[in-house]
């Protein structure tokens, strides 16, 4: 028999206010006259959290009772951002919570802004995992997210004289009120040591050292509170906190050293999403969380099932990129060494249970581990990987060398994940097609049914409903709120694009967002911005393939042109950049400095009369995106075609009524289909054209010679016009553009310039612009992450939702 104490849902703001006061007093231990903003935020969070607990228990009970297939989403990164406002909205108490808090004399926005972002991810891959958590709960799919509880998330960025400076991020400095530490759930995770043969395929692995993986759970309530899943994050703890004998000998620091070493495994998120560095600590992180998760899900499976052959019917494990791919070997190891299965049987079961998502085709980003490193950190896993590789070779005797898992002393994790998985998916139609034609061409030929496409999506709860209340209310007034869980409903807005009243509403909502953003940016030193200017936004990680450089070159060229023709009817533009560079990525950091230097020059030029501004607020993160996206008129999605696997920011902007300027890359291709080519600004070389340009080594000279605007900007950069005190500063960028333009910035410059001038023109036709904006919103139904999750459930996981 089990009893649940359920807190009654408040009927009105007074009741909620009294729950908040109760927590302020009894949980936080503060009287109102001494409470800080954080105290109020924590009290509110506890009051809200109380309301998600009973539904959470219900979901867990139901999923056991009905014995449905469970999905486990293994991801090294969950870029969640803030939790409070989303939770309040998801359980339908947004207005009441605001009234309650304001009734207590607190400013709603300021209290919400007090919450630190949980930045446990680098960018797209981690944010996708967070959107998927929201959708798995909203569609009622029994699922767990598994990841790492990093002490320090993605570094904090600041600019010193325009250069990026990184500092440690400290999201856990304040209590994290959403999580529950499960002290009873701890697994011993071993590393190194020796392997001795056992019976049959089994072996005995005696690790040389070990840490404990400690579980922390966060409830993830779906929309309407109908279903709540769990995000379980692992923190590394030492087996012994402290070595008393060393302490007693006076070695106070040494006494704690082994413990500190153990804790480093979950200390910090690797901030480099460009090239895996083959670092031992990274491999240990990957194994640590994969092994803990697999042990945990096996424990749950074994509660109600004795027959291991049922595993693929009851469990689906999704590998979010290759970061948890060592889990392939771990699951097989557990089945052989702990459950006495043969290798062949274990392999078959694992391959029925595991699925792998690929998020990037860039060869340098594909993970490989040195054989020696694997041998020293995970000797038993290396044996199993060798067995998998041999088996694959035996089954495919003519397989080409590129399909090997182990080759030239390296373990290729992409091949391991592919060979060990039932389904392998790309994240947009174009990306999946390129997977089949390039990186995985040979494996695809051997296993033609394995690769499927599941185009990414984003949650409309966070990315419209919560972050853009003006637009949300406008939509609700016209078509009701069914779109929040059925985004295809937005189609109903399409005819309204032709209605002046609706366009007016759209205009007003956008303008209010731009005013709010301008004030926020002004507080961060951006000066006064004109809310009637075109807000042109590029926010994403700083990567050469994403081509922030193309954007700033065009900005500088525009500046030149405006100075030459000051009397032309230039529309006002604000160029907004946001994004972090990996700390070791020198070229990306130099591009940041270039943007800031060019920006400083332009912003100081009074002859422009404020018609061109460049702003780059530091420390872009999820909560900054929530402010920028609703206020954007133009969304920059200008990657080198063939290199951006999908993009998800592109979807968020369109949903919020921004028009896109973009290449035919990633999901831009599908966005064009959804909104129609006349409602999106597509330019530049296609993926096939880029490939052809590169085939014989791309030579940028003709492109530079043919475009005097481009030639001039490059010369300005090289001559030190933007870095007068240090004329050589940007020589490297000039050199790259002239001699190693791998990302074909120069090849696309003219087309980009031309389309930007078309955009200037389109901006002047306000009604038409708003019509396009409305059609963009109306066409975004298919980019809900609910759709993505339903696709995974049907085509990959074979799992049913609880509805
Ligand atoms: C890569 C690596 C390389 C090894 C070292 C650590 C590390 C950490 C993160 C990454 C992430 C690169 C992959 C990635 O984020 N891909 C992005 O995935 C998005 C979601 O599918 C997609 O929208 C973006 O286009 C894609 O770049």
* 758 in a structural domain: yes
* 557 in a structural domain: yes
* pLDDT at residue 460, rounded to an integer: 98
* pLDDT at residue 225, rounded to an integer: 87
546 classed as catalytic: yes
* 704 in a structural domain: yes
Task: Report the mean per-residue pLDDT for the chain.
Answer: 96
Shared-domain flag, residues 61 and 73? no
What's the residue count for the chain?
A: 803
pLDDT digits (tens, 9 = 90+) for 6-60: 789 999 999 999 999 999 999 999 999 999 999 999 999 999 999 999 999 999 9
Mean pLDDT, residues 403-412 taken together? 97
Pick from 169, 148, 736, 273: nearest CA to 540: 273
Shared-domain flag, residues 45 and 132? no
Shared-domain flag, residues 431 and 413? yes
Q: Which of 359, 461, 573, 672 is catalytic?
A: 359
Protein residue closest via CA to atom 15 of ligand 1: 125
* 795 in a structural domain: no
Mean pLDDT, residues 309-334 taken together? 98
380 three-class SS: helix
Shared-domain flag, residues 499 and 432? no
Mean pLDDT, residues 535-558 taken together? 98
Shared-domain flag, residues 344 and 377? yes
- Alpha helices, DSSP H, located in 117-193: 124-138
Protein residue closest via CA to atom 4 of ligand 1: 276
Shared-domain flag, residues 54 and 168? no
Residue 80 clears pLDDT 70, i.e. is over it:
yes
pLDDT digits (tens, 9 = 90+) for 139-163: 999 999 999 999 999 999 999 999 9
* 75 in a structural domain: yes
648 classed as catalytic: yes
Return the residue matching tokens 């609703």.
630
Mean pLDDT, residues 475-482 taken together? 98
Tell me the pairing of strands 315-320 and 70-74: parallel
In the chain, the percentage of residues whose pLDDT exceeds 70 is 99
Query: Could you give the angle at which helices 280-304 and 326-333 cross, rounded to 10 degrees?
Result: 40
Q: How many domains does the chain have?
A: 3
Shared-domain flag, residues 230 and 282? yes
Residue 768 clears pLDDT 90, i.e. is over it:
yes
Mean pLDDT, residues 214-230 taken together? 96
* 130 in a structural domain: yes
- C-alpha 243 – ligand 1 centre gap (Å): 40
- C-alpha 84 – ligand 1 centre gap (Å): 26
pLDDT digits (tens, 9 = 90+) for 421-452: 999 999 999 999 999 999 999 999 999 999 99
How far is it, in rounded angstroms, from Cα 180 to Cα 173? 16
Residue 1 clears pLDDT 60, i.e. is over it:
no
Shared-domain flag, residues 109 and 149? no
The domain that holds 738 is classified in CATH as: 3.40.50.2000
Give the number of the atom of ligand 1 that is nearest the alpha carbon of residue 126. Answer: 15
Shared-domain flag, residues 13 and 129? no
- C-alpha 323 – ligand 1 centre gap (Å): 10
pLDDT digits (tens, 9 = 90+) for 573-598: 999 999 999 999 999 999 999 999 99
Protein residue closest via CA to atom 1 of ligand 1: 273
* 796 in a structural domain: no
* 513 in a structural domain: yes
Pick from 542, 787, 452: nearest CA to 651: 787
Shared-domain flag, residues 285 and 342? yes
Residue 390 clears pLDDT 50, i.e. is over it:
yes
Residue 363 clears pLDDT 90, i.e. is over it:
no
Residue 621 clears pLDDT 90, i.e. is over it:
yes
* pLDDT at residue 4, rounded to an integer: 63
Residue 6, domain extent: 1-66+85-116
User: pLDDT grade, residue 723 (50/70/90)?
Assistant: very high
* pLDDT at residue 240, rounded to an integer: 85
- Whole-prediction pTM value? 0.97
How far is it, in rounded angstroms, from Cα 532 to Cα 512? 10
* pLDDT at residue 2, rounded to an integer: 60
Tell me the pairing of strands 203-206 and 194-197: antiparallel
541 phi/psi in degrees, rounded to 5: -55, 150
Task: Output the DSSP codes for 521-585.
Answer: HHHTT-----TTSEEEEEES---GGGTHHHHHHHHHHHHHHHHHSTTS-PPPEEEEEE----TT-
Mean pLDDT, residues 558-563 taken together? 98
Task: Output the DSSP codes for 415-444.
Answer: HHHHHT-SEEEESSHHHHHHHHHTTTHHHH
Residues 6+ apart with CB under 8 A from 257: none
Q: Which of 546, 573, 575, 593 is catalytic?
A: 546
Residue 269 clears pLDDT 50, i.e. is over it:
yes
Shared-domain flag, residues 28 and 75? no
How far is it, in rounded angstroms, from Cα 362 to Cα 431? 11
Shared-domain flag, residues 50 and 75? no
């Amino acid at each position: 028999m089990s009893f649940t104490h359920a807190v009654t849902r408040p009927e009105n703001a007074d009741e909620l206010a009294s729950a908040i006061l109760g927590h302020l007093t009894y949980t936080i231990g503060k009287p109102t006259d001494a409470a800080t903003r954080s105290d109020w935020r924590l009290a509110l969070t506890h009051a809200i959290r109380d309301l998600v607990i009973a539904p959470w228990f219900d979901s867990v009970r139901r999923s056991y009772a009905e014995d449905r297939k469970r999905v486990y989403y293994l991801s090294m990164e969950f870029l969640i951002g803030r939790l409070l406002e989303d939770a309040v909205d998801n359980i339908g108490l947004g207005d009441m919570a605001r009234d309650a808090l304001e009734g207590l004399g607190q400013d709603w926005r300021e209290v919400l802004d007090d919450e630190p972002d949980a930045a446990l991810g680098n960018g797209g891959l981690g944010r996708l995992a967070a959107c998927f958590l929201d959708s798995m709960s909203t569609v009622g799919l029994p699922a767990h997210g598994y990841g790492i509880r990093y002490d320090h998330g993605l570094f904090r960025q600041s600019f010193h004289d325009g250069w990026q400076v990184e500092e440690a991020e400290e999201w856990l400095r304040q209590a994290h009120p959403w999580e529950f530490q499960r002290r009873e759930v701890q697994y011993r995770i071993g590393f190194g040591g020796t392997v001795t043969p056992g019976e049959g395929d089994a072996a005995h692995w005696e690790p040389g050292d070990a840490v404990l993986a400690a579980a922390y759970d966060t409830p993830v309530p779906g929309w309407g509170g109908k279903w709540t899943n769990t995000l379980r994050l692992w923190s590394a703890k030492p087996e012994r906190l402290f070595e008393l004998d060393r302490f007693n000998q006076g070695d106070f620091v040494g006494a704690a050293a082994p413990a500190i070493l153990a804790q480093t495994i979950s200390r910090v998120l690797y901030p480099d999403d460009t090239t895996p560095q083959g670092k031992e600590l990274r491999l240990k992180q990957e194994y640590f969380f994969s092994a803990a998760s697999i042990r945990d899900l096996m424990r749950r499976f074994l509660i109600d099932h004795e027959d291991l052959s049922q595993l693929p019917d009851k469990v689906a494990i999704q590998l979010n990129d290759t970061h948890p791919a060592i889990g392939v070997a771990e699951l097989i190891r557990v089945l052989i060494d702990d459950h006495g299965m043969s290798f062949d049987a274990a392999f078959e079961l694992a391959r029925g249970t595991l699925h792998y998502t690929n998020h990037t085709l860039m060869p340098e980003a594909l993970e490989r581990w040195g054989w020696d490193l694997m041998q020293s950190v995970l000797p038993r896993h290396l044996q199993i990987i060798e067995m998998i590789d041999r088996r694959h070779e035996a089954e495919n005797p003519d397989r080409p060398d590129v399909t090997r898992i182990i080759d030239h002393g390296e373990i290729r994790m992409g091949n391991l994940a592919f060979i060990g998985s039932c389904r392998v998916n790309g994240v947009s139609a174009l990306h999946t097609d390129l997977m089949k034609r390039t990186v995985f061409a040979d494996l695809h030929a051997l296993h033609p049914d394995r690769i499927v496409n599941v185009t990414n999506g984003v949650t409309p709860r966070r990315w419209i409903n919560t972050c853009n209340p003006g637009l949300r209310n406008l939509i609700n007034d016209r078509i009701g709120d069914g779109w929040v869980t059925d985004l295809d409903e937005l189609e109903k807005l399409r005819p309204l694009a032709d209605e002046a009243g609706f366009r007016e509403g759209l205009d007003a909502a956008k303008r209010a967002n731009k005013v709010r953003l301008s004030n926020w940016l002004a507080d961060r030193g951006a000066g006064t911005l004109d809310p009637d200017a075109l807000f042109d936004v590029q926010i994403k990680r700083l990567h050469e393939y994403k081509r922030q450089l193309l954007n700033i070159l065009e900005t500088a060229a525009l500046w030149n042109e405006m100075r030459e023709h000051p009397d032309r009817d230039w529309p006002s533009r604000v160029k907004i950049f946001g994004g972090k560079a990996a700390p070791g990525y020198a070229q990306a950091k130099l591009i940041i400095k270039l943007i800031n230097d060019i920006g400083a020059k332009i912003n100081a030029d009074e002859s422009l009369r404020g018609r061109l501004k460049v702003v780059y607020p530091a420390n872009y993160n999820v909560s900054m995106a929530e402010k920028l996206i609703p206020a954007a008129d133009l969304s920059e999605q200008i990657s080198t075609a063939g290199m951006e696997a999908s993009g998800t920011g592109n979807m968020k902007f369109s949903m919020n009524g921004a028009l896109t300027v973009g290449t035919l890359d990633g999901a831009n291709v599908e966005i064009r289909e959804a909104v129609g080519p006349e409602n999106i600004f597509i330019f530049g070389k296609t993926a096939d054209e880029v490939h052809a340009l590169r085939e014989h080594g791309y030579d940028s000279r003709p492109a530079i010679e043919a475009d005097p605007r481009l030639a001039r900007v490059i010369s300005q950069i090289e001559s030190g016009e933007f870095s007068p005190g240090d004329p050589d500063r940007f020589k490297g960028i000039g050199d790259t553009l002239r001699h190693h333009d791998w990302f074909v910035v120069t090849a696309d410059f003219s087309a980009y310039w031309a389309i930007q001038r078309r955009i200037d023109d389109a901006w002047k036709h306000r009604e038409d612009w708003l019509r396009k904006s409305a059609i963009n919103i109306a066409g975004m139904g298919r980019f809900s992450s609910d759709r993505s999750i339903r696709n995974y459930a049907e085509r990959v996981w074979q799992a049913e939702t609880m509805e």
